[in-house]
């Protein structure tokens, strides 16, 4: 079976929607948590729905908050999604250092310029 993320990206592109991986998966990818989501979840600019890819149910959750979809499809967007999921009170200097080490300098600068929650 092809990579779920690539299939979902193709569907989103065909439908003209913006998608971003859910923050829990983003945080896991950066090693900020060991929790593994039980099913793939994506934020979307379109309506919420579930897409079946073989035996896998992929949840697409609508967000009207465009800030959560900034830099969608880029490493910067994945980092931003992780930060949104963790929440301001759980983002520490260590968290930032881990993300900074995983991103290229230009990507980290884009993250610094992002419209983050207050």
The whole-angstrom separation of Cα 16 and Cα 38 is: 27
Sign for the pseudo-dihedral over CA of 50, 54, 82, 17? negative
Sheet holding 41-44, edge to edge: 19-21, 41-44, 56-62, 49-53
63: alpha, beta or left, given left = phi > 0 and alpha = psi -120 to 50?
beta
Q: Are 32 and 81 in contact (CB under 8 A)?
A: no
Give the Cα separation of 30 and 44 in Å (integer). 21
H/E stretch holding 83? helix 75-86
Flag whether the pTM goes above 0.85. yes
Cβ count within 10 A of residue 66: 11
DSSP one-letter code for 74: S
**Chain segment 2-32, per-residue pLDDT in tens:** 789 899 999 999 999 999 999 999 999 999 9
**pLDDT, tens digit, for every residue of 36-89?**
888 999 999 999 999 999 999 999 999 998 889 999 999 999 999 999 999 999
């Amino acid at each position: 079976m092809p990579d779920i993320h690539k299939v979902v990206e193709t569907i989103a592109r065909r439908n003209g929607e913006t998608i971003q991986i859910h923050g829990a998966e983003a945080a896991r990818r950066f090693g900020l948590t060991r929790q593994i989501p039980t099913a793939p979840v994506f934020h979307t600019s379109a309506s919420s729905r579930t897409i079946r890819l073989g035996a896998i149910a992929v949840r697409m959750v609508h967000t009207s908050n465009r800030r959560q979809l900034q830099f969608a499809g880029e490493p910067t967007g994945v980092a931003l999604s992780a930060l949104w999921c963790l929440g301001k009170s759980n983002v520490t200097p260590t968290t930032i250092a881990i993300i900074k080490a995983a991103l290229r300098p230009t990507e980290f600068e884009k993250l610094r310029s992002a419209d983050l929650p207050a």
